[in-house]
Chain A
Amino acid sequence: MTDGFLDNAFFRNIYCNLASSGSDRCAGGGPFGDGLLPPGWEWLAFLVTAFVTVFVVVNGALMAVNLYIWGERRLLGRLQGRLGPNRWGPFGLLTPIADLIKVLSKEDIVPAAADRLVYSLAPVLLVVPVLLAFAVIPFGSSTWAANLNVGVLYLIAVLSVESFAPITAAWGSQNRYAMFGGLRAVALLVSYELPLVLSLIGVLMIAGSLSLVDIVNAQDVPFALVQPLGFLVFLIGSVAEIQRAPFDLSEAESELVGGYHTDYSGIRWGLFQAGEFMSTMVSGAIIATVFLSGWRGFDFLPSHAWFFIKFAGVLFVMTWIRATLPRLRIDQITSFAWKGLLPLAAVNLLASAVLSLIWPRPSVGELWAMAAVNVVVAAAAIYVLGQFGPKPGERPRPAVAPALGATGREGAA
């Protein structure tokens, strides 16, 4: 086993305090003395370290999601000319806590027709991948739970498991609304996964690594500038992947009641909500890391603050989108993915491939040159693609169902 995990200061501190100093893995012991455990008990130190790390990451994520829900509700309120939650606790900060208490103490209904196993599995399938995704995100210059050498791929793989949740919930609850929501969700997720992954490949070619830490280190110029098209596609694609407005048609409340979680109540529904908000946070963190140069910034603020600023900025934009745009139909959404985002991602991929052939290991100046070329490419690609779509003000002709065509015109001459 490689000892890459000891690069992490947090890991190292815990492990080396526990493990014997005779171990060659942490020469010099931990910062607070060494070797609480006798030699030969390194496995226990390893387990404890792993457990503590997982504990910190999971609970940190769960606390952060409370904060984020509060922030989103306040921000939505401001964007809609309201005040937002402000009664319970200072600035309404305790409102999500109250939601948590209420949801925990609410009756947990399992419908009689539901498939109990599948029904109970669905919230877990939503929450666990998101929590797993938090593991590789670098929150600061040396703060991460794991630095995988396939970090980006890991993130995408883990988050793709998440698309099981809607369909499992839909099937498990045996509800028609849920079934419609689940089918829509899967159509949406399968459509947007492709442009999402393709738009990342340009970044990987420039950074030359799949590790998120390496990608941040390679961003002497933020990749949002170097890869404007990829950034755009990834932003739209990730908003679609987490199924927020305007892509929230899978839980469209005005038509499908609650979509795939219609029949969930109590803490299971709470898990769904928490999972959705956490996946929003993960998406924001990925965008901040991969495209906005993560923790890097100027020296007057610590790296964690820079990460947090970018992260919050991305979340602000996502909330802004949610408050602004109306919901789209399923055919509009899928055709936008296949006819709009996929060609754009392919153009981005092609341009990045050519550019990374010209400048294999780009310096800062070369990165700026790439940015200039790519901005032109992005503008041209979007303009050309726009020529194929419907013009502004042009409406698609509504399709007449053939069965209605005969009887619908009865008596109309």
Chain B
Amino acid sequence: MIERSAIIDIVFWAVAALAIAASVMVVTVRDVFKASLFLAGSFVAAAGLYVLLRAEFLAAVQVLIYVGAISILIVFTVMLVRQVSGGNRSGGPFFAIAGGVAAVLVALAISYAAVNSKWSDLDRAAAGDERVAAALTGEYQAQQSPGNPDVDLVKVPIDDPEKARHGVFERTTNQLGTMFIRDYVLAFEIISIVLLAALIGALAIARGARDGGTS
């Protein structure tokens, strides 16, 4: 007998394999244009993972920004570069070592984050935590307990019948918006300033090149 969760498992493994395969192809394929296509593919796979995590908003934004905008720009840039299909020559042992070290560091960081995170919701739902399961099925609203940080969720009855039918994880958009504007507004604005600086810098470089480097 196959549960519906088994289907979701199958989908998860397929998407994860796709993401890894695409990522590996990005760094191994010689043709830069194909590499950028595979990069877009791995972005799409990441969006698929977000969907499985029920973060539809994040998935849509991922596709919109990373696939629809950034990958397109990368491809566009690649097309303006000479010697695309030949691949570039390797940069020597220094770059290989540096790249290896960077890769190992990133892998360590991600593993640390993965091990030390509280994978509360989904694991406990799968493990039969009745509070989380209740929250997921919409019987109760999940809320951070104010007094006790060890307890992730407390039972709060859902008064909105619409919400009760769909479960609490439907309106991620509103939660994200609230977080951006209230809790993490400083980081948000700093990132905006960094992006603005990058934009102005790119503009300055482009204009300088056109005017013969005089401006």
Direct contact between the two chains A and B in their complex (CB within 8 A):
yes
Docked pose: A115 CA to B84 CA in angstroms: 12
A2 neighbours in B (Cβ, 8 Å): 54, 138, 166-167, 169-170
Interface digits, B170-189 against A, CB 8 Å rule (1 contact, 0 not)? 11010000000000000000
**B58-96 to A contact mask, C-beta < 8 Å, 1/0:** 011111100111011101100100000100000000000
Q: Which residues of B contact A58 (CB under 8 A)?
A: none
Q: Which of B44, B59, B69, B75 lies in contact with A167, CB distance below 8 A? A: B75
CA distance A247 to B171 in the complex (A): 37
Q: Does B40 belong to the interface (CB within 8 Å)?
A: yes
The residues of B with any CB-CB pair to A shorter than 8 Å are: 1-8, 31, 33-34, 37, 40, 44, 54, 56-57, 59-64, 67-69, 71-73, 75-76, 79, 85, 138, 166-167, 169-171, 173
A221 at the interface (CB under 8 A from B): no
Q: Of all chain B residues, which has the CB nearest A158?
A: B63
How many residue pairs, one in A and one in B, have C-beta atoms under 8 Å apart? Answer: 102
What are 8 A-B contacts with C-beta separation under 8 Å? Answer: A2-B170, A43-B3, A117-B34, A150-B57, A160-B63, A160-B64, A163-B68, A167-B79
Contact yes or no, A148 B40, CB < 8 A: no
Shortest distance from the beta carbon of A282 to any chain B beta carbon, whole Å: 15
A85 vs B85: C-alpha distance when bound (angstroms): 45
A189 cross-chain contacts in B, Cβ below 8 A? 72
Interface residues of A in 134-160 (CB under 8 A from B): 148-150, 153-154, 156-158, 160
A148 to B55, CA, bound (A): 12
Query: B75 near A164 (CB under 8 angstroms)?
Result: yes
Q: Within the assembled complex, what's the spacing in Å between the Cα atoms of A218 and B16? A: 38
Given contacts A40-B1, A121-B37, contact A160 B173 (CB under 8 A): no
The smallest beta-carbon distance between A353 and chain B, in angstroms, is 13
Q: Is A52 an interface residue (CB 8 A)?
A: no
A7 nearest CB neighbor, chain B only: B165
* Known contacts A43-B3, A43-B4, A161 near B67 by CB under 8 Å: yes
A96-120 residues at the B interface, CB under 8 angstroms = 115, 117-118
- 1/0 per residue, CB under 8 A from B, across A308-321: the answer is 00000000000000
Set of chain A residues within 8 Å of B76, measured between Cβ atoms: 167, 183, 186, 190
Instruction: Give the docked Cα–Cα distance between A47 and B113 (Å).
Output: 35
CA distance in complex: A193, B63 (Å)? 14
Given A158-B63, A160-B63, A182-B79: A150 and B56 interface contact (C-beta under 8 Å):
yes
Task: List, in ascending order, chain B residues with CB within 8 A of A197's CB.
Answer: 64
Contact of A186 with B64 in the complex, beta carbons under 8 Å: no
Q: What's the Cα separation between A121 and B138 when bound, in Å? A: 42
> Taking A1-B4, A42-B4 as contacts, is the C-beta distance between A149 and B171 under 8 angstroms?
yes
Is residue A179 contacting chain B, with contact meaning CB distance below 8 A?
yes
- Say whether B64 contacts A157, CB under 8 Å: yes
Is there contact, CB below 8 Å, between B60 and A153?
Answer: yes
